[in-house]
């Protein structure tokens, strides 16, 4: 499934200038072979979480001067609305 989704997303923008594929792991898992060449954001690692949102933000910027901008101060998990019904994910995100 991951291979199809990746191929579909990249085919919509052959030069990869418009579409971005940003794998985000919310829990430890085996990464599909087709995604191993990409940079995967690992939310489940608490030691890298302080940089998680900044890296995710930069992944969606154009690759020019915008990429050098810093994420605004004060952006943190409670400021972002998380939508999930899975109790395991809610617990991991500390959402009640």
pLDDT tens digits along 14-31: 665 666 777 888 888 888
Domain range enclosing 89: 2-93
pTM of the model: 0.49
pLDDT tens digits along 31-89: 877 777 777 888 888 888 888 888 888 877 765 544 445 555 555 555 555 566 667 66
Q: For the chain, how many structural domains are there in total?
A: 1
Geometric angle at alpha carbon 71, from 69 and 74, rounded to 5°:
150
The whole-angstrom separation of Cα 32 and Cα 11 is 19
The pLDDT of residue 54: 86
Residue with the bigger pLDDT between 90 and 26: it is 26
> Closest Cα partner for 3 from 21, 19, 16?
21
23 vs 17, 31, 65, 91, CA distance in Å? 17, 9, 23, 21
């Amino acid at each position: 499934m991951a291979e199809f989704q990746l191929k579909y997303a990249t085919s919509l923008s052959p030069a990869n200038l418009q579409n971005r594929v940003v794998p985000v792991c919310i829990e430890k898992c085996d990464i599909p072979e087709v995604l191993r060449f990409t940079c995967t954001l690992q939310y489940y690692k608490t030691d890298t979480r302080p940089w998680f949102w900044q890296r995710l933000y930069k992944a969606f910027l154009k690759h020019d001067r915008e990429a050098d901008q810093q994420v605004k101060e004060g952006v943190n998990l409670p400021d972002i609305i998380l939508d999930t019904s899975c109790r395991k994910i809610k617990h991991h995100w500390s959402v009640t």
